[in-house]
Amino acid sequence: MREVCIVGVGMSQWGEVWRMSLRDLHTQAALRAIAAAGVDHLDSLYVGCMTGGLFVGQEHLASLLTDYMGMAGLPAVRVESACASGGMAVRQAFIDVGSGTSDIVMASGVEKMTDCSGGDATYALATAADQEYEVFNGATFPGLYAMMATAHMAKYGTTREMLSAVAVKNHHNGSMNPDAQYPFKVSAEQVAKSVMVADPLHILDCSPITDGAAAVIVTTVDIAKKLGKPYVKIIGSGAGTDTIQLAQRDDMTTIKAATIAADRAFKMAGKTIADVNLVEVHDCFTIAEIVVAESIGRYKPGKAGPAILAGETALDGKFPMNTSGGLKSKGHPVGATGVAQVIEIYKQLTGQAENGRQVAGSPKVGMTQNMGGSGGSSVVHIMEVA
């Protein structure tokens, strides 16, 4: 397998973007990535999108998006794995380049989530859960993650203060991210006193509904060197699945799919979690960050919450986590999130993180963890400075 790297990245505007359509958001991110990489062509495109059909009535993205990029004829395919769609698109691009089938590939993600009613958005997102046994009986993702939080609290003594610490940290980081949807700080008191959504989760425990796109250029190390642009190598990629239904799992206080994906990525990379300097994890809810930090092996079960509360995962901590602000502050356009995570690690490893958000000490190895639904699917990438 050839050495594979990321050589250019691009983000669209993120937030409630009323004046741009799905195709506009994607084109903006794609052209920015192409310009940053300095490439003169693409061999193929993989675009992550959870459900453009339900959010804006638009499927057949391969044709639509290549057309609006000015690249009609380019081989392209949409990749879907619920909220892990973007990360899976990066994985497909990695495999395409690594196998030698293509030399220069774009991996992108896009979602336009605010052009429909709140009820329609809830319905669209709920398609990532078990329709017959969860959704039919009234379960929503806040409800499912609330059950995970309640179980984690009962089993390990996780507290309200630990959940709040996740939101406080991520909003602090997001306040320095020019691409963040909610670039403002919050206090632990504000989180704990915000509107209750599903006990024990309040509104400030939850990631927002977001419009946005993200794109990266994936190529070989040899081509990246010729381009003369900053690049980072993708040294490991892993994916895994678990039951879609939360009730069918052996233990709802862990994300088995994330563990499987991380183990496979580490095996490919020849690394362990101890070699990783920073990570972007899928904090769709504050409890998700705590559970994932344990599931990927950084902390033993029940120990992530206290570590986050103690500042270990802060920007200046031992193990910085979600330096971008995470889904919580940066936003969560579900199809684009996994690609944006890769962009943050690329920026950190190449020293390009903005506004004082750069991790000190020249980090060498970074990691992303992206997942779908309540953790029914997950994908992990390990990246290293060239």
CB 328 within 8 A of CB 286: yes
pLDDT at 73 over 90: yes
Q: Are residues 264 and 375 in the same domain?
A: yes
Specify if 124 maps to a domain.
no
Looking at the structure, do residues 56 and 95 belong to the same domain, yes or no? yes
Q: Is 309 domain-assigned?
A: yes
Q: Is the pLDDT of residue 386 over 90?
A: no
Give yes or no: 116 in active site: no
Q: In whole numbers, what is the pLDDT of the chain averaged over residues?
A: 97
DSSP-derived secondary structure letter, 205: G
Q: Note whether 323 and 183 are same-domain residues.
A: yes
DSSP 261-290: HHHHHHHHHT--GGG--EEE---SBHHHHH
pLDDT of residue 262: 98
Distance CA 94, CA 212 (A): 22
Instruction: Let me know whether 144 and 278 are in one domain.
Output: yes
H or E element that contains 23? helix 22-37
Classify strands 44-48 and 76-79 as parallel, antiparallel or unpaired: parallel
Residue whose token pair is 């879609």 = 244
pLDDT digits (tens, 9 = 90+) for 192-201: 999 999 999 9
CA–CA separation, 147 and 138 (whole Å) = 13
Alpha carbon 251 to its chain centroid, in Å, reads 23
pLDDT exceeds 90 at position 189? yes
What is the mean predicted confidence (pLDDT) over 206-232? Answer: 97
| Shared domain check, 41 and 87 | yes
Residue 126 lies in a domain: no
Per-residue pLDDT of 133-154, as tens digits, reads 999 999 999 999 999 999 999 9
Annotated catalytic residue, options 83, 202, 206, 284: 83
The contacts of residue 202 (CB under 8 Å, 6+ apart) are 191, 192, 193, 194, 195, 196
Question: Do 143 and 97 belong together in one domain?
Answer: no
The pair of structure tokens assigned to 165 is 């610490």
* Catalytic residue selected from 171, 282, 332, 381: 332
Please tell me whether residues 252 and 220 are part of one structural domain: no
How many structural domains comprise the chain? Answer: 2
Q: Confidence class of residue 239 from pLDDT cuts 50, 70 and 90?
A: very high
CATH number of the domain bearing residue 99: 3.40.47.10
- Strands lying side by side in the sheet with 76-79: 76-79, 44-48, 104-111, 212-220, 4-11, 232-241, 377-385, 365-372, 278-280
Domain range for 371 is 137-207+235-385
